[in-house]
Structure 1
Amino acid sequence: MKVLVADAINEKGIENLKEVADVTVDTSITPEDLVKTIKEYDGIIVRSRTKVTKEVIANADNLKIIARAGVGVDNIDLDAATEKGIMVVNSPESTSITVAEHTMGLLLSMARKLSIADKSVKEGKWEKKRFMGVELRNKTLGVIGMGRIGSQVVNRCKAFEMDAVAYDPYLPEEVATQMGVELTDLETVLKKADFITIHVPLTPETKHLISHDEFELMKDSAFITNCARGGIIDEDALYDALKNEKIGGAALDVYEEEPPAEDSKLFELDNIVLTPHIAASTQEAQRDAAIIVADEIIELFKGGTPKNVLNMPRIDNKTYQELSPYFEICEKLGSFISQAVNGKIKDLEIVYSGELSKIDNLEILTRTVIQGVVNPFLSSPVNTVNASLVAKDRGINITEGRKTNAKGYDSLIRVKAKTENDEFSAEGTTLHEARILKVNDYWVDVIPEGHMFIAKYEDVPGSIGSIGTKLGEYGVNIGIMQVGRDEKGGRAIMILTLDKEIPTDVIKEIQALKNVYEAIGLEL
């Protein structure tokens, strides 16, 4: 077995690989040379420099695995690798401890005013009274997002004798209980917490999740830190809260614009700690990333299955060609349902009708639906291989069914999600492009893409007009509108495709309109 290490990684990973493979290290290989020589290798390790393009993969006649020593895989053509049966792996867990420790460093720096005290001493001052701090002990930690990193932060804060409350709509109660965390809503977390830490992805739902209203809910002494993604905290609102001493302090490792503008207002403040997006930057994280991907390659060469696989399992070419037209609609249906249903998903039902029902193995499509369901609320993207495990960990029960009747279409896919208080379904197919044909048993015809909006309302005169007027007031233009109803004067549903993202405040105002009983914004 031959492995090419195309980017610089920690030497320990290379040493491990040499025990089972012939390893070539060429960290300056050019794209042209990579295309010419890739056919010689069974595996390749890259970081961010080397691009494993469609052209490279087309020439990779012997390649079995592409390993990314890190998290992001923007430099790897996943679709091309999947179609050729090449496994792609990464090392997401390599940075969990590192980011958690950086978060702890920021919490301590805020609590004890370390950064401004350091600056003061270096300026020749001795301002002991100015830097009175607070202990972490007996304080309440508020965690927004209890994934790998959030969980590690909780573990460390327990050692400081802190209590913990968390907001994570998709974390099962029993898991939170095992971790010693009180699971609650966002408002309660913001009100109760002395220290708040953010560990969620940046999505349309989490953009400016923390803004003016949220700062008003916090204690005047509260501290907040963000090592997740810039944009989750509204920096203008943060500046106002810090400037007016509405909160005790803040710490950021990520920003809405990176690097921040030289004239950023945040630079004026003493009660904020700023670091340059370095939470994941440690020698140990780089070492662990190298060891993890080396172990993944070794596992594959020994006949095992790597655990961090990013693309779908291998299927025969005939089945792949039959199913590939439905990948997009499956992912879109999952994402649509996940964003539209109210509450934590407990049960997910997927039913294939028509020609699809005759195919023996539809696991790839089911995994693609699940991928679409869970990705909107996770900080690290999942894939068709690990989506089922992620759903299981989140307490989602999956049911797959088949029906012969496709209601006049070649094939239909129906996805239904249930929560404790709600259920939502959508049905779609591929007609040269992905289309949703039915929502909650209302017939519609929707292309699931871009900025979308759903309104459930009473089918009475003026309902549609009031919604359109409210959107117009805020400069939100409607591109496409589809309406479905069960009976004249009964309940109806409106699905809109918009020219731009609909602000949360506008959704709330539409929700408050007469005859409107639910309003939802989606991004597909």
Structure 2
Amino acid sequence: MKILVADRLSQAGLDIFSAAEGVTLDYQPELSEQALLCAVADADALVVRSGTHLTAEVFEKAKCLRVVGRAGIGAENVDLDAANRRGVVVMNTPFGSSITSAEHTIAMLMALARHIPQACAALRAGKWQKDSHLGVELSGKMFGVIGAGKIGRLVIERALGLKMQVLVCDPYLTTEAIQQLGGEQVELLDLLRRADFISLHVPLNQETRGFLNAELLAQTKPGCRIINCAQGGLIDEEALVAALKSGQIVGAALDVFAKEPPSADHPLLQFDQVIATPHLRAASADAQINIAVQIARQILDFLQRDLITNALNVPSVNASLLKKMRPSFELAERMGLFMAQYRSGHFKQVSLEYTGTMTTHPLELLTATFLKGLLRPVLGEQVNDVNASLLARENGIRVSETRVYSAAEFASSIQVRIDSDQESHSLSGALFGEKDYRLVRIDDYMVEAIPEGHLLVVHNEDRPGVIAQVSGILASAGVNISMFNLSRRRIEGTAVALIGVDTPVSPDVLHQIDEAEGVLFVRPIHLPLATDWDSL
């Protein structure tokens, strides 16, 4: 397997790749756009930093690519939509530089409070100006933290050590959780109006892009100072320029910008009260080693052990959970493959219901696995666990999930209903042990069958002679029956026969069965044998 490293990476990470068995390392930092398109063509994995932009064209050229490792926290340089369409897992390293990022925030806080960069520059220019660089104490000041994730929490911890009073705005944390951190939970407007210093620690997405705009900046406490070492684009930069000019904001410390690098004449860089660093939040020797080692291990875990860690576009699964969920994955994908061959017409809606112990698993993964089985016979090998849900949406298929915690019939089961433009069908599967899973219901008919091999589903009238006809046709064609499961709901109604056969049934024999008296319709199903599963 080829691993392309397209940005500079600490030697510690490169050594891990070099020592791995079955891996070829291609280390080409600072590739041009055209060179990257050529180099990535046969790569199984790609490692980048913030300097390499992975566009839709890159993913289109990368025919073998399975995983991207972003060595760092953000992934703004990766086209996630393109990665999803190609079914490429995108990982980052959110914890390798957490301490370094938090320390840089505190460094910016202190430099902003005491005008350290400005005083240093003046002294180098031969000016001894103590009075013009009068700063403020941090002790006792209100420090507003917007976002209390991993880095935000480390910043809070350090601000408390400086004897600051910490206000926290994070809608995803409870009051108790914020109190345990040592902060006071407040709403955003309350934080803006009370804080002497404000530090941003939220991800950049559609909701947060430019959220600190002119309207919110006008709500800040007069004389407030703002720090952003999180993501460029969180602050409306034009609005911040206006707030600095008016004196509403008296200082800002910025490590990130909406467009990087910013131009030399960027308006924010013209203010003496603005200090800026070139995206240095993770720029420490310790963090670079941590990030490189972390991304190398994540990439190898994915390629060699199918483990997903710190993924941005698919749920992460650790080794113990993956092993525990393996039978559920197998059952879900086989049910998808079954329904793809059983139904007729174009898919319109898929409804999945998970019951019992199955509800303790990440349902997004199980649903994606089912959809992969359902869509592969229609869309081909391009469908995988990453892009299955996206491809379903793009093809107009509505997908819904339901959890039922108390199991009625089976301790752990999956029930699915598929509506097409022609008909509707349902299927249920259940786990019976660590490796034992079976189909237990087809269209409300109780069955019990291992979902593998060549199967025939026969819907027929429940009357004497029909089954004999079907068995006779198969016998005449030399097709051996390995399993026969018959189910009905009432006498002289309709029934379903699930028949296992040793060899595929020819179209001619299927036509004979379909035309037999009393047979309503027949559907052939082919599922991989259990020994073939690892090759799927």
Amino acid at match of 2:25: T
Aligned 8 A contact 1:355 1:410 in 2? no
Task: State the SS of the aligned residue for 2:9.
Answer: coil
Q: Deviations over 1:236-256 (max 9, x none)?
A: 432333233333322222334
* Distance across 2 between alignment mates of 1:81 and 1:297: 18
Q: In structure 2, do the counterparts of structure 1 residues 261 and 321 end up closer, same or farther at CA, with 3 Å as the change threshold? A: farther
Structure 1's unaligned 5+ residue stretches are 324-352, 369-382, 386-397, 412-524
Aligned 8 A contact 2:223 2:249 in 1? yes
Would you say 1:74 and 2:78 are equivalent positions?
yes
Amino acid at match of 1:121: L
Worse-superposed segment, 293-302 or 151-160: 293-302
What does residue 221 of structure 1 align with?
A: 223
Q: Deviations over 1:244-294 (max 9, x none)?
A: 333332222233444445444434432221223333333333322210022
Would you say 1:244 and 2:246 are equivalent positions?
yes
Q: Deviations over 1:441-465 (max 9, x none)?
A: xxxxxxxxxxxxxxxxxxxxxxxxx
Matches within 5 A, 1:182-201: 182-201=184-203
Q: In structure 2, do the counterparts of structure 1 residues 317 and 57 end up closer, same or farther at CA, with 3 Å as the change threshold? A: farther
What does residue 15 of structure 1 align with?
A: 15
Task: State the SS of the aligned residue for 1:250.
Answer: strand
What does residue 103 of structure 2 align with?
A: 101
What does residue 129 of structure 1 align with?
A: 131
What does residue 363 of structure 1 align with?
A: 363
What does residue 341 of structure 1 align with?
A: none
Task: State the SS of the aligned residue for 1:143.
Answer: strand
Amino acid at match of 1:356: S
Matches within 5 A, 1:173-184: 173-184=175-186
Task: State the SS of the aligned residue for 1:289.
Answer: helix
Q: In structure 2, do the counterparts of structure 1 residues 288 and 320 end up closer, same or farther at CA, with 3 Å as the change threshold? A: farther
Aligned 8 A contact 1:67 1:89 in 2? yes
Matches within 5 A, 1:24-63: 24-27=25-28, 30=35, 34=39, 38=43, 45-47=47-49, 49=52, 53-54=58-59, 57-58=62-63, 60=64
Matches within 5 A, 1:210-359: 210-300=212-302, 303=305, 305-312=307-314, 316=333, 319=336, 355-357=350-352
Structure 2's unaligned 5+ residue stretches are 316-328, 341-347, 369-384, 388-400, 405-414, 425-536
Alpha-carbon distance, 1:317 to partner: 8.7
Aligned 8 A contact 1:176 1:183 in 2? yes
Task: State the SS of the aligned residue for 2:163.
Answer: coil
Task: Work out the number of aligned pairs and report it.
Answer: 350
Superposition RMSD on alpha carbons, in Å? 4.4
Q: Deviations over 1:167-219 (max 9, x none)?
A: 12222333212211211101111122121011223445434433444344333
What does residue 113 of structure 1 align with?
A: 115
What does residue 519 of structure 1 align with?
A: none
Worse-superposed segment, 154-163 or 184-193: 154-163
Worse-superposed segment, 169-178 or 279-288: 279-288
Alpha-carbon distance, 1:135 to partner: 1.8
Q: In structure 2, do the counterparts of structure 1 residues 140 and 223 end up closer, same or farther at CA, with 3 Å as the change threshold? A: same
What does residue 161 of structure 2 align with?
A: 159
* Distance across 1 between alignment mates of 2:40 and 2:253: 44
Aligned 8 A contact 1:154 1:164 in 2? yes
Amino acid at match of 1:224: I
Q: Deviations over 1:52-71 (max 9, x none)?
A: 9456653x3xx775534334
* Distance across 2 between alignment mates of 1:410 and 1:96: 53
TM-score scaled by structure 1?
A: 0.55
Match of 1:400 among 400, 403, 412: 403
* Distance across 1 between alignment mates of 2:422 and 2:197: 54
Alpha-carbon distance, 1:2 to partner: 6.9
Amino acid at match of 1:26: Y
Alpha-carbon distance, 1:117 to partner: 0.6
Q: Deviations over 1:65-87 (max 9, x none)?
A: 553433427278533653xxx75
TM-score scaled by structure 2?
A: 0.54
Q: Deviations over 1:96-150 (max 9, x none)?
A: 3333222212111110011111111111111112222122222221011222222
Worse-superposed segment, 206-215 or 102-111: 206-215
Aligned 8 A contact 2:351 2:416 in 1? no
Alpha-carbon distance, 1:404 to partner: 6.1
Amino acid at match of 2:13: G
Q: Deviations over 1:285-331 (max 9, x none)?
A: 332221002222444577473422345478749838979xxxxxxxx
Task: State the SS of the aligned residue for 2:275.
Answer: strand
Task: State the SS of the aligned residue for 2:95.
Answer: helix
* Distance across 1 between alignment mates of 2:69 and 2:258: 30
Amino acid at match of 1:217: Q
Aligned 8 A contact 1:5 1:23 in 2? no
Aligned 8 A contact 1:110 1:273 in 2? yes
Q: In structure 2, do the counterparts of structure 1 residues 99 and 410 end up closer, same or farther at CA, with 3 Å as the change threshold? A: farther
Aligned 8 A contact 1:142 1:164 in 2? yes
Of the two, which has the highest radius of gyration? 2
* Distance across 1 between alignment mates of 2:14 and 2:242: 50
